[in-house]
Amino acid sequence: MGLAVLVSAMMAGTMVPPAAAQDLSGEIRFSWWGSTVRNAKAESIISMFEKANPGVKVSREPGEWGSYWDKLTVQSASGNQPCAITMQSRWLAQYADPSILQPLDDKVASGELDVTGIDSAVLDSGRGSDGNLYFIPHGVFYFTLFMNKTAIEDAGMELPPDDWTWDDYAQYARDLSDKLPEGSYAVGNQGGAMDTFTDWVQSHGETLFTPEGEVGFTKQTVVDYFDFWEALRKDGVTETADQMAEIPDNIIDDTLLANGKILIDARPANQVDGHQKVLDAAMPGQELVIHSYPVGPSGTGEDIGSNGLAIGATCDENGTKLTEAWINFFTENPDAAATYSSDNGVVSVDRFRTAQLENPDTTPGQYQAVNMLSTVGPRAKSAYFPSGGYSALSGALTSAYETVAFEQSSSADAADKLIAQVKRLVRD
């Protein structure tokens, strides 16, 4: 069955049945990135899979986000990549090559890989620029604003409407800032934040990269973005430049948002529970809620992507068979889905999203993240990144804005350097 027929079958509510159950034996390596909590969930699902398949062993290769990709690049170059590889749509271009990852269309069409309940648009996020499907998405990610609802209401304000603009955002932040005590800030400074920049660019009618891999945004868009955040920083609406540089935003326990010192900041939706847990200890009784980004001149600019599982090109026939079974178990088994609980993006399979919304044990944060996808998903714009594009742009953006915030460079000069750096890195 061809892919077009397969997608039509999905939309019609039918699916090619998965391959018949068979005795499996052997060992595969599985690599993923994540926190201690995610590692524990992955370990639990692996144990469930091994118990269901007593002849199979999964060798664990967890990693931290940044080092994960460095290691995978080295492994891929030497032909030593694992059979089961966690992949992300933003990084796919660097690995979307049949010599690194196995194309999966034929396996989906035959039913060897089961994609029941995964929307075709989400499935397509696992495709490379050559049109091949290289990974099966198990989690859909998107970025939002976290708002300290309790503290905002205690300050005498209501949450902003969903259709607010960037100008509304700035005014709302200033109004909120005027009502806060010394040492508290209305919003986190997102001048160097990749996800907010993505939303800004797309809501202003531009793209991060063109399909040919060229920079898709203009210098003026960068200048306007930097100036937007600089105006708020200089007026004390955001944290200081020193705080921005010194306090890592990738460690939840340390963020000013989680510790009740910032009331609004940008975060991936799946982190709300983690932030809430820290906030409960720091400021008991305060509640974080998920809110949408502002609307720009060209509408919403929210980015959506996916995380999922790929098969290494160097995996042998038996290893490939085991990895197919592992992918099917991870994505389509209800106990596995319940255990993972949309940890690395909202679960991609529709029936498991429904189950999480109906489950009384679902945490408030998980409920918000799953529920919000129904709003964000239909209007989101998936950003394209060429090979090396995500790391090049995110690094250049952070560095460029820091020079502005520390008053070492003008917004215009920083924008020139950012664009030149990205072009050089992506070209090289």
- Which of the two residues, 13 and 113, has the higher pLDDT score? 113
pLDDT at 356: 94
pLDDT at 377: 83
Helix (H) or strand (E) run with residue 27 in it: strand 26-33
Q: Is residue 18 pLDDT above 70, yes or no?
A: no
Whole-number Å distance between alpha carbons of 186 and 390 = 29
Whole-number Å distance between alpha carbons of 208 and 391 = 12
Q: Where are the beta strands (DSSP E) in 123-268?
A: 136-148, 185-187, 262-268
Our CA angle for 264, 393, 236, nearest 5°, is: 30
pLDDT-based confidence at 82, cuts 50/70/90? very high
pLDDT at 23: 85
pLDDT at 22: 61
Q: Is residue 16 pLDDT above 80, yes or no?
A: no
Q: Quote the DSSP letter at residue 57.
A: E
pLDDT at 287: 97
Q: Is residue 4 pLDDT above 60, yes or no?
A: no
Lowest mean pLDDT among 53-67, 98-112, 177-191, 367-381: 367-381
Instruction: Cite the residue boundaries of each domain of the chain with CATH code 3.40.190.10.
Output: 3-141+304-378, 143-302+382-427
Lowest mean pLDDT among 67-71, 85-89, 102-106, 373-377: 373-377
Question: What confidence tens digit (pLDDT) does each residue in 24-71 have?
Answer: 999 999 999 998 889 999 999 999 999 999 999 999 999 999 899 999
| Alpha helices for 130-180 (secondary structure H) | 149-154, 166-177
Query: CA gyration radius for the chain?
Result: 22
Which DSSP string corresponds to 314-382? T--HHHHHHHHHHHHHHHH-HHHHHHHTTTTSEESBHHHHHHHHH-TTS-HHHHHHHHHHHHHGGG--P
pLDDT at 217: 98
pLDDT-based confidence at 376, cuts 50/70/90? confident
pLDDT at 7: 31
Domain 143-302+382-427 has CATH 3.40.190.10: yes
CA dist list (Å): 222 to 144, 215, 296, 425: 20, 12, 14, 18
Q: Quote the DSSP letter at residue 264.
A: E
Superfamily of domain 3-141+304-378: Periplasmic binding protein-like II (3.40.190.10)
Question: What confidence tens digit (pLDDT) does each residue in 188-203 have?
Answer: 999 999 999 999 999 9
Q: Quote the DSSP letter at residue 225.
A: H
Q: Is residue 2 pLDDT above 70, yes or no?
A: no
pLDDT-based confidence at 146, cuts 50/70/90? very high
pLDDT-based confidence at 223, cuts 50/70/90? very high
Helix then strand then coil, in percent of the chain rounded to 5, is 45, 15, 35
pLDDT at 219: 98
Question: What confidence tens digit (pLDDT) does each residue in 254-285 have?
Answer: 999 999 999 999 998 889 999 999 999 999 99
Q: Which of 301, 303, 302, 292 is nearest to 203 (CA)?
A: 301
Whole-number Å distance between alpha carbons of 23 and 318 = 11
User: Are residues 301 and 381 in contact, defined by beta-carbon separation less than 8 angstroms?
Assistant: yes
Question: What confidence tens digit (pLDDT) does each residue in 317-328 have?
Answer: 999 999 999 999
Whole-number Å distance between alpha carbons of 67 and 399 = 20
Q: Is residue 238 pLDDT above 90, yes or no?
A: yes
Lowest mean pLDDT among 2-16, 29-43, 220-234, 291-305: 2-16
pLDDT at 428: 64
Q: Is residue 237 pLDDT above 50, yes or no?
A: yes
Q: What are the tokens at 424?
A: 């050089």
User: Are residues 230 and 244 in contact, defined by beta-carbon separation less than 8 angstroms?
Assistant: no
Beta bridge partners of 56: 26
Q: Is residue 11 pLDDT above 60, yes or no?
A: no
pLDDT at 375: 86
Q: What is the mean pLDDT of the chain?
A: 92
Whole-number Å distance between alpha carbons of 101 and 312 = 5
